[in-house]
Amino acid sequence: MKIVHVTQPVAAGVAAVVRELAVSQRERGWSVAVVCPPGRLADRLRDEGVDVHDWPATRTPGPRTVTEVVRLKKILDRLDPHAVHLHSSKAGLAGRLVLRGRRPTIFQPHLWSFQTAHGLLRHVSAAWERLAARWAHQLVCVSDDELRAGRAKGIATAAEVVCNGVDTTVLRPRSRVAARRRLGLPDVPTAVCVGRLAPLKGQDLLLTAWPAVLASVPDAQLVLVGDGPMRDRWRAIGDHSSVRWWGHDTAVADFYTAADVVVLPSRAEGMALVPLEAMASGRPVVAFDVGGVRQSVGDAGAVVEAGNVPALAEAIAARLADPVLATGEGLTGRRRAEVLFDSGRVGDQIATLVDKLVGEGR
């Protein structure tokens, strides 16, 4: 089996999914290549022995898109794979323009483009997805919510829901005190938020809620792990001694372990990896009710109305103030991660889809 993954973006959850699938499929004995822009993902894949082809594409459509499409066509023609797996909106745009259904094609949106666009662009994005649906043989959605959103816009491609997964052998419950010592954090009630500092991820909403959390738990601390375009602006909101601006860090396991609660304040998601990683680490999750969150979190924390800042603050404070509640939810989360969201199960599901798709094509 020869499969090519095409991805842009190359960071955060999408990159983690692509890497897991590429490594898993190579271990099955498949010939696997990843086409993506140069950077951390490409470097890591090469270190792990995966064939990588540079595709210097930007994250959003623009004047360079035509050149990007031409470059991608040359790469795919040269590789001549049995199937192509397109990840996220930009790769989905370029890849479907190149392939146009002539080769078995999987498209995995990882959150629809029209769910993050506004105004006219939102309508244009939805129209494009309806048009391009004919050029994908298999749609893979990471949550039931994501599939429903696509169907509501008239996207009728044959679809399967394959929830994101995490390596539950690497992420495990460990000593909270030891993790805080390694990170140099004080041993006080701790909320952790992991994610790119960008409007979609909603850290500004969490920072707005934080004073209410401190009113209930005065010695609490908030650790923000990540960097991004909103860092300087949002530091003005969260300019408080209890807020730690950690910046980007690829080794996030200790941060989950150090937490009493992990917070996901996103404005939109397909199915975020952060709650799954937190649950695998045995920590409860507090999140807004956006795509895939209820399906992933279940009883392993609190899912509050999207954008409801007071409710977010109340749920965080409750778990920082009540270790018994937080521990119980953490144990529930660990069980959910092992049974429902282990990355090995994800790899098996995708491999089955690819085998079926290529077999039908032959």
Task: State the chain's mean pLDDT as an integer.
Answer: 93
Q: Is the pTM of this model over 0.75?
A: yes
- pLDDT in the model for residue 205: 97
Given this structure, which CATH class describes domain 176-340? Answer: alpha beta
**CATH classification for the domain delimited by 2-165+342-361, as one of 3.40.50.2000, 3.90.10.10, 3.40.50.2300, 3.20.20.140:** 3.40.50.2000
| pLDDT tens per residue, range 214-252 | 999 999 999 999 999 999 899 887 778 999 999 988 789
Domain boundaries, the chain: 2-165+342-361, 176-340
In terms of DSSP H, where are the helices of the chain?
Answer: 12-27, 40-47, 65-79, 88-99, 119-132, 144-152, 176-183, 203-216, 231-237, 253-258, 273-280, 293-297, 309-321, 323-340, 343-361
| pLDDT tens per residue, range 147-203 | 999 999 999 889 999 999 999 999 999 999 999 999 999 999 999 999 999 999 999
Distance from C-alpha of 352 to C-alpha of 228, rounded to nearest angstrom: 37
CB-based contacts of 72, cutoff 8 Å, min separation 6: 6, 35, 55, 57, 94, 95, 98
Q: What is the DSSP letter of 59?
A: S
Hey, do 2-165+342-361 and 176-340 end up sharing a CATH topology, with the first three levels equal?
Answer: yes
| pLDDT tens per residue, range 279-329 | 999 999 999 999 999 999 999 999 999 999 999 999 999 999 999 999 999
Closest CA to 262 of 233, 300, 289, 236: 300
